[in-house]
Amino acid sequence: MDQIQAHARDCYPEECCGLMLGHRVETADQSQKTLLALYPMDNAWDQANGPIEEKTSCSPLTAARRYWIAPQDLFNAQKYARTQGWDIIGVYHSHPDHEAVPSECDRKWAWPQYSYVIVAVNRGVPHDLRSWILDDQQQFRSEPVAVSAVAPTVETDI
């Protein structure tokens, strides 16, 4: 959490973004993830702005608050995670001078099963961090987060 907040502070007033790596355990009625490492990314929104704008109905007025992870970066991250025996379990990004609640654009581009951590940064100071996950109706619901000193043992063959 400290690392996410530090990244958010460094990028302010721009959005920061990155991937969360770790383990995921799925059971019939719940999904639990263990975050073990962060994979900070460059925010590629500027380069990607044009094409995405055409593909989505996200209004240009909300474009100030966006992040975009380049496909090649995602590919590299996947490769790195695999060498560590980890999965990509989610994405984190910051909301400069905005609350830690997903935007409509965040929702449109969200993938099921990923956790989306958003850190709110108020005048350069991170002050709120929340995790979100899509439900069956493709709507975000908040997800409980617990910090533990030692990562729980995970059965990776589930």
Q: Which is nearer to Zn ion, 23 or 96 (CB)?
A: 96
- Minimum distance from residue 14 beta carbon to Zn ion (Å): 12
- As beta bridge partners, residue 121 has 96, 126
Cβ proximity to Zn ion: between 23 and 105 the closer is 105
Contacts with Zn ion by CB under 5 A lie at 103, 106
Residue 5 contacts residue 126 (beta carbons within 8 Å)? yes
Measured from the CB of residue 118, what is the shortest distance to Zn ion in angstroms? Answer: 6
- CB nearer Zn ion, residue 17 or residue 81: 17
Round to whole Å and give the CA distance between 36 and 34: 6
Nearer to Zn ion, 87 or 106 (CB): 106
**Least separation in angstroms between CB 103 and Zn ion:** 5
Helix (H) or strand (E) holding 91: strand 87-96
Determine the residue type at 91: V
Q: What residue number has its CB nearest to Zn ion?
A: 106
116 bridge partner residues: 91, 132
Which residue is listed with tokens 């350069």? 124
